[in-house]
Amino acid sequence: MNTVSARALDEAISWQLCLGSGEASEQQHREFQLWLAAHPEHAQVWRQLGGIDQQLAGAASSLARRALLQSGGVRRRALRRLGSTALGLLLVGGLALGLLAQHRPLGDYLADQRTAAGEQRELLLPDHSEVHLNSLSALDIEFTNLERHLYLRSGEILVQTAPGDTRPFLVETEQGRLRALGTRFLVRREGDTTELIVLQSAVVARPSHAAQERIIQAGERVRMDSLQLGDNQPAPVGADAWTRGMLVADNMRLADLVATLDEYRSGYLGVDSALAEQRISGSFPLYDSDLALDALALSLPVRIEQVGPWWTRVLPAAE
């Protein structure tokens, strides 16, 4: 799958929300068709992106879709009829779950830069390179006369290196080392692996306990552990959409989508094991996870069970 520019993706997301609202004028529909025909990349990103409205087609009326997309009116769920004793227990349990959700490796608290759940941060490095930290990320930064070095303890970063500096630009994780070749790329820690997605130029990847290294080109992604590099795969569309507050899912496991949304919520968010392998495509707002969950409930045979503000699960739809 070919990559598309950040600008094209932003424009596609804007059109998606506009047309999906059910309130687009005839003039806006005409302008969308002109945009779609203006460049081959526009048609490409529109096909790849899918989106909430496409997911809901046939699953909900236009009135329901319009209500879903109006972020100012996020609905409250009805699972809150609890007695006073149960409510007291819920509040105590909810507090514990909230603290548990914030748990992270102790080393993260020693990092030069770190973000909390739901927080993102943009950094301008001494060489004018830019780094964008995703939610629940921890990063060490060390610049010397010989090299520019980042160590990603956890989470995910987007790096845009600045031109003109001859020192090697290195990103290291527990699993290996990445050397930028004048580029824009994403690095994400996932358990015992590191995922690299190259958006521009190329990156040299080398596992920490292997002599093997490989150049990963723009439009490719690779996963590595400390011993080896996996096969090169096409970069997913919208891989960096999180920097603009969106999650773009392209045939994503429901368990992975819910885990990503969980990084932007307080308390517990889980999914029933029977639904973990369910696949979904679309775009979802990261900073309004209730809205994203409402989209799931309308587009998949699932229901959202919420008890108070701290405990939420995605369950199979009732018979």
230 and 117 in a common domain: yes
- Summarize pLDDT for 211-267 with one digit per residue, the tens: 889 999 999 999 999 999 999 999 988 899 999 889 988 889 999 999 999 988 888
Residue ending a domain, among 171, 203, 234, is 234
Confidence (pLDDT) at 296: 85
Claim to verify: residue 207 and residue 270 sit in the same structural domain: no
Dist. CA 27–CA 216, nearest whole Å: 43
Is 239 domain-assigned? no
Q: What is the pLDDT of residue 287?
A: 86
pLDDT of residue 66: 46
Confidence tier at 21 by pLDDT (50, 70, 90): low
Summarize the confidence of residues 129-158 as an average pLDDT.
96
Q: In the predicted model, is pLDDT for residue 91 greater than 60?
A: no
Contact 117, 135 (CB under 8 A): yes
Look up the CATH number of the domain holding residue 220.
2.60.120.1440
pLDDT of residue 112: 94
The gap from C-alpha 317 to its chain's centroid, in whole angstroms, comes to 25
**Domain co-membership, 115 together with 200:** yes
In a shared domain, residues 221 and 252: no
Q: How far is CA 98 from CA 2, 91, 103, 177, 286, in A?
A: 40, 10, 9, 34, 18
Same domain membership, residue 186 and residue 156: yes
Rounded to an integer, the average pLDDT of 40-64 is 56
Q: Which pLDDT tens digit goes with each residue over 265-286? A: 888 999 999 999 999 888 888 9
Q: Identify whether residues 99 and 176 lie together within a single domain.
A: no
Helical spans, DSSP H, in 6-152: 6-20, 26-38, 40-49, 52-56, 62-69, 84-101
Tell me what pLDDT residue 46 has: 74
Clarify whether residues 189 and 215 are in a common domain.
Answer: yes
Range of the domain at 219: 111-234
Domain count, the chain: 2
* pTM for the model: 0.69
- Can you tell me the mean pLDDT for 53-66? 43
Token output for 55: 């997911």
- Quick one: 210 and 229 in the same domain? yes
Q: Mean per-residue pLDDT for 82-102?
A: 42
Task: Assess whether 226 and 143 both reside in one domain.
Answer: yes
Residue 257 near residue 246, CB atoms below 8 Å: no
Q: How far apart are CA 88 and CA 82, in angstroms?
A: 9
